[in-house]
Chains A and B, each alone.
Chain A
């Protein structure tokens, strides 16, 4: 019996999936590389494409707008990850000490933003941040006696960061909370007996024990933030100017909107893909070391 188990092959089980993934993911990715090495404009016949090697990549790195978009993406990423971690960690810690009913109530409140369709999130926040009739400025006006133009060149990126934090703080919170719940309670009790303060417990027990989950949550958030498209597309379309033009929106503008430079857009998409692959490799290393 056991020998039969061992002799069986995994091939028939995994082949359909591997075949599917090669067709839907690997071939298109190879084609993306192919496109990135060519000069081809949308609307022109396919035969008019010309092979230009790595010129698209060289051009892209000389392009100020690309560099700007890269910077905007980094700023966005760093800001959302910091805000979401600080808020998420605080809420998760707060939840831990509460009774079952409160935990449940907070959990349901947190789940709601996570389920919202991204394009809907973009639109509703666009209306809430509206400078004249928006609900946010109504409260800002009451508290500070002035209205803020949330979509001005200087504020737009901050606004998109706030919206991302609204939707994804829940993600970090729920991940960290389920990690906290799984921690051995004895450590905290022993620490309390030794007279450790709340802050000391967080610093010497919670953070070190929770480190693997924190890393995974933050890496997943970094990757998601890096490839963010939908919410910002609906909210600002990368504007005003290119104040909120993250890499994905830059690709959209080059490839579909202002110009139809598919080759060039593909080159930027390849760069974005490489950055994401680097992050996912870090994540995967982290995970395999956790598994052991």
Chain B
């Protein structure tokens, strides 16, 4: 009897010990993941709050007198706002055209059957995969013929190659999820096909539609290679601004970090908002997110 109790207690202690070790290990792993993935961004916040001398101090400073001067500089000296305006002047028209073109196409691909539909869908997807440099070269030469280099128009057009195929694929997946009976009911109510699309199907997928819009905004807003080569002075967008902090005295880390943060934070917030659809978006709808 005694022996049994001893065994029971020792097993209890053993489990508890193991539980404790597991818990410590688990905290360590989570901490490690946090340090690896988030600390670089936190350090960027620190950089943006340091003076020039503090930023190049060796060893790096972990306690310092905070300065907000970099944010002031970013706005006054480095024209953050005009770059932001340029970005918006490209992103917003691009998104509007993308939606006007992609929503009906996605609906068409989802709701109708025709010969070669699958091939067409895959052809559309493969356009999204094109490398940026293969787009830059022809757009650069054509743009110089048409004299639209360094004009928001060329980026609005060029970003269609990214966003239209993407939006069609993602939206098609959302339309596929609407049961056909819902639409038939709408038609019995006397709605035309277009009426069903506009008044029934689009409102049903509004969550997915919002996510698609946000993902398209992120892609256009973050794009770098096309913006770098197709604009030079007047139409430069935010991602290219950060490359302008290289002076003959080295890189101006403070203003660079301040600008980058102001440019990135809206995107981080937007992405966290659509995190449920992130997997669907990143995999072009091949993997359904939860």
Contacts and interface: CB of A to CB of B under 8 A. Distances in A.
Interface in A116-136: 116-120, 123-128, 132-135
B160 A273 contact: no
Contacts of B249: none
Contacts of A220: 282-283
Contact of B279 (A17, A174, A270): A174
Contacts of B257: 124
B146 interface: no
A98 B278 CA distance: 21
A193 interface: no
Contacts of B36: 166
A32 B112 contact: no
Contact of A269 (B55, B105, B133): B133
Nearest to A284: B122
B13 interface: no
Nearest to B117: A10
Contacts of B58: 132-133, 138
B109 A10 contact: yes
Nearest to A95: B33
A124 B259 CA distance: 12
B91 interface: no
B218 interface: yes
Interface string B51-73: 00001111110000000000000
Interface stretch (A78-86, A196-204, A222-230): A222-230
B202 interface: no
Given A20-B164, A105-B30, 7 more contacts: A107-B275, A110-B33, A123-B260, A175-B287, A217-B283, A220-B283, A252-B133
B33 A171 contact: no
Interface stretch (B2-10, B41-49, B78-86, B203-211): B41-49
Given A8-B112, A170-B37, A251 B137 contact: yes
B105 A13 contact: yes
Query: Dominant SS at the B interface?
Result: helix
Contacts, number: 270
Contacts of A113: 37, 40-41
A277 interface: yes
Contacts of B137: 32, 35, 251, 255, 262, 265-266, 269
B114 interface: yes
Contact of A117 (B34, B139, B264, B278): B264
Given A17-B164, A127-B47, A230-B225, A115 B105 contact: no
Nearest to A124: B44
B284 to A, nearest CB: 8
Contacts of A166: 36-37, 40
Which of the four size classes fits the interface of chain B?
35 or more
Interface of B: 26, 29-30, 33-34, 36-38, 40-41, 43-44, 47, 55-60, 97, 100-102, 104-105, 107-109, 111-112, 114, 117-118, 120, 122, 124-127, 129-135, 137-139, 141-142, 145, 157-158, 160-161, 164-165, 168, 184, 187-188, 193, 218, 221-222, 224-225, 228-229, 238-240, 242-243, 245, 251, 253, 256-257, 260, 263-264, 267-268, 270-272, 275, 278-279, 282-283, 286-290
B104 A14 contact: yes
Contacts of A270: 134
A113 B132 CA distance: 21
A17 B59 contact: no
Contact of A25 (B56, B100, B127): B127
A9 B271 CA distance: 37
A120 B37 contact: no
A5 B184 contact: yes
* Most interface-central of A16, A141, A226 (chain B CB within 10 A): A16
Contacts of A105: 30, 34
A50 interface: no
